[in-house]
Every structure is written in structure tokens, then in C-alpha cells.
Amino acid sequence: MYRQTISRLVKLLPQGRMTLSTTARVMASGDTGAPRAGGSRADDSFSSREKSNENLGIKIREREKLNELRNKISEQHEHLNRLEEHL
């Protein structure tokens, strides 16, 4: 049943008119998109705000990692103290 339905649908497709045309995207390494209006050194309010938001996010993640490391170090110190008391 499926074979008959599919074969009918395939026959109805306009095979002669279907062409596949593709173009490859060509970008050099490091290209990220369209250039800025004022050149590569142009700083507008959006780019500076975006940069500050990224920096803030990075600082928050680094602070969290540092706190985790400090907690691990304190746990290790406590563990070492317990081992010394046991000996």
C-alpha cells in the first residue's frame, strides 16, 4: 500500500524542472560577518555594553570557580587534620 502511494507521488513530481543549485559560503578564518560602519576600531554603545556584559559574566563564573576551589581546599585541610588526629 505504501509502495503504491509513494510511486504515484514520485510520478507526479516535476523532475525536469527541479534543479538543485547551491553556493558555498566563503569566509576567511576569523571572519565573523559584516564589517562595522566605522571600521574595525569603531566602538558604539552596543558593542561596549556587550563587551561589559561578557566581562561581567566571565568574572561571575571565575568567582564561582574560586569559591568552589576554596571550599575543596578547606575540606582537604579538614580531612588531613582528621587523619593526623587518627595517627
Confidence of residue 82 (pLDDT cuts 50, 70, 90): very high
* Rounded Cα gap, residues 54 and 32, in angstroms: 17
DSSP 8-state secondary structure symbol assigned to residue 13: S
Domain ranges within the chain, ordered by starting residue: 49-87
Q: CA of 34: how far to CAs of 27, 38, 46, 79, 87, in Å?
A: 11, 12, 16, 56, 67
Whether the CB-CB separation of 42 and 36 falls below 8 Å is answered with: yes
Which of the four pLDDT bands, split at 50, 70 and 90, describes residue 6? Answer: low
12 or 45, greater pLDDT: 45
Work out the pLDDT band at 65, boundaries 50, 70, 90. Answer: very high
